[in-house]
Structure 1
Amino acid sequence: MTREFPLTARGVARLQTLTDTAASLFLDQGYGAVSLDMLIARAGGSRRNIYQHFGGKEGLFIEVVTRLCEEQGQPLRDLDIEGDEIGEALTAFGHKVLEIVLQPRTLALHRLMIAEGQRFPALSQAILRSGHEAGVKTLAEWLRNRRCILRTDLTPEILAEQFVSLLITGPQLRALVGRESLPLSSAEIARLVRETVSAFLHGALKGGKSPDA
């Protein structure tokens, strides 16, 4: 943001309306399809104000996506993994993560990351850090305190990455291409989490035996 002077309360409210409207437009239509004229028609204001505060459309986009990253990342950073029994804890964590990543706004931000990755690589990486990687970090920190019951040849970070990827990849991809009816029912979320926890803890082999057993 290029603004270097204080805003009045009215100015702050107008700026909030502008950024909120821009967020909705960018998430719905992408960067290229949104023009400043379209934004001004919906939110009010002027080109002069946009250039004065953000330096133009690109600066506004960067500001909006930065805020969206913070909005997306906060629930994942705040996740409190409850309980000491690993199966119960992973189940509770899985429910919360699926509810977050399958929200329409989160999915729209993910689409934006893919669509604008080449034009704005730093922003796309920020979206990844605030979403997927934030969830992995939260789980890895919890697993690190339970190393005594985990495999010693895999780090908590690898285990957390595998669990989160196993849990969200299928539902998220199906939702992104419109093959998943949202919101998922409580029963469907419970099934996805239960199957993920079982596969993660016991593997795919009968009896949960490792290949080296």
Structure 2
Amino acid sequence: MVPPKAPAHRTIKGAQRVQELIAVAAEQFLENGFDAVAVDNLIARVGGSRRNVYDYFGGKEGLFKAAMLHVSTEMAKPLDELKIEGLEIEEVLPAFGRQLVRTALSPQTLAVHRLLTNEGRRFPEVAQAMLAASYLKILDKLAVWIAAHQASPTSKLNPDISPAVLAEQFMSMTSSDVKLRAIVGLVQPPLSDTAIDKIVMSAVNTFLYGATARSALPRSSSNPNE
């Protein structure tokens, strides 16, 4: 499902229309699912023609892929733009964790989860591309920072554990549970900063010090309803 290469020459207005079409299509696909979205309705809202859609995207499935990649990139942007290079654990993990939780609980992320639940098997290439553009991209960013930190002689992170494994564990500990609770309605976003801090600092403590009786950072509950 690879769309044909878009024409190399297009007017500024035409390029803007393509981007608007992608944005509107993303909104409609997330809200209604693939089958319920008609290309003609999108064109009626944005302008252009069916020929434009087929020239640039190869058809509705190509437009779906482009729209979902747009969504994934936008979802990842706050974490992707977070500056962590060269910073210490006490600065990075809490800040990264807070943004992970906010991203996990955003309406867009929850809508993407619902869409992939319904359409992921039908469009595995799209689902995999979305994963690579969002979760895996952020996982790699954190793993690179962890690897650099492990190389320091004063690092608190075990150099014998894969950076990718540590990054995956931290991301899971921080945001997976609260996202699942939000999906089934046990948590109602948005959460307060205090509730987010409870989740994040609990994860940071456990990540750094394990489930021992003592920890170097203040204890806090991971239950946002407390």
Q: TM-score range by the shorter chain?
A: 0.7 to 0.9
In structure 2, C-alpha distance between the alignment counterparts of 1:98 and 1:57, rounded to whole Å: 33
Compared CA separation, residues 45 and 163, structure 1 to 2 (3 A):
same
| Paired positions, count | 208
The DSSP-based 3-state class of the residue aligned with 1:109 is helix
The DSSP-based 3-state class of the residue aligned with 1:81 is coil
In structure 2, C-alpha distance between the alignment counterparts of 1:61 and 1:89, rounded to whole Å: 35
Report the TM-score when normalising by structure 2. 0.80
Answer yes or no: is the 8 Å Cα contact 1:167–1:192 preserved in 2: yes
- Structure 1 position 168, deviation (Å): 0.6
In structure 1, C-alpha distance between the alignment counterparts of 2:79 and 2:20, rounded to whole Å: 26
Compared CA separation, residues 5 and 205, structure 1 to 2 (3 A):
closer
- Structure 1 position 89, deviation (Å): 2.5
Q: Which amino acid aligns with 1:176?
A: I
Structure 1: stretches of 5+ with no match in the other structure: 209-213
Compared CA separation, residues 157 and 54, structure 1 to 2 (3 A):
closer
Aligned to 1:108: 111
Answer yes or no: is the 8 Å Cα contact 2:120–2:127 preserved in 1: yes
Answer yes or no: is the 8 Å Cα contact 1:91–1:197 preserved in 2: yes
Structure 2: stretches of 5+ with no match in the other structure: 216-226
Give the alignment partner of residue 199 of structure 1, picking from 206, 215, 219: 206
Answer yes or no: is the 8 Å Cα contact 2:85–2:145 preserved in 1: no
Answer yes or no: is the 8 Å Cα contact 1:83–1:89 preserved in 2: no
Compared CA separation, residues 81 and 5, structure 1 to 2 (3 A):
closer
Aligned to 1:136: 139
Matches of residues 59-98 of structure 1 in structure 2 within 5 Å? 59-81=62-84, 84-98=87-101
Aligned to 1:177: 184
In structure 2, C-alpha distance between the alignment counterparts of 1:85 and 1:5, rounded to whole Å: 45
| Cα RMSD for the two superposed structures | 2.3
Compared CA separation, residues 10 and 144, structure 1 to 2 (3 A):
closer
Give the alignment partner of residue 171 of structure 2, picking from 161, 164, 169: 164
Compared CA separation, residues 191 and 39, structure 1 to 2 (3 A):
same
In structure 1, C-alpha distance between the alignment counterparts of 2:141 and 2:86, rounded to whole Å: 14
In structure 1, C-alpha distance between the alignment counterparts of 2:66 and 2:88, rounded to whole Å: 41
Greater helix percent: which structure? 1
The DSSP-based 3-state class of the residue aligned with 2:214 is helix
In structure 2, C-alpha distance between the alignment counterparts of 1:83 and 1:5, rounded to whole Å: 40
In structure 1, C-alpha distance between the alignment counterparts of 2:13 and 2:43, rounded to whole Å: 17
Verify: 1:30 aligned to 2:37, yes or no.
no
**Identity over aligned residues, as a percent?**
43
The Cα offsets for residues 31-52 of structure 1, whole Å up to 9 and x where unpaired, read as 1221223323433443333233
Q: Which amino acid aligns with 2:206?
A: A
The DSSP-based 3-state class of the residue aligned with 1:206 is coil
Answer yes or no: is the 8 Å Cα contact 1:95–1:190 preserved in 2: yes
Answer yes or no: is the 8 Å Cα contact 1:107–1:176 preserved in 2: yes
Aligned to 1:211: none
The Cα offsets for residues 98-127 of structure 1, whole Å up to 9 and x where unpaired, read as 222322123222333332221221221122
The DSSP-based 3-state class of the residue aligned with 1:158 is helix
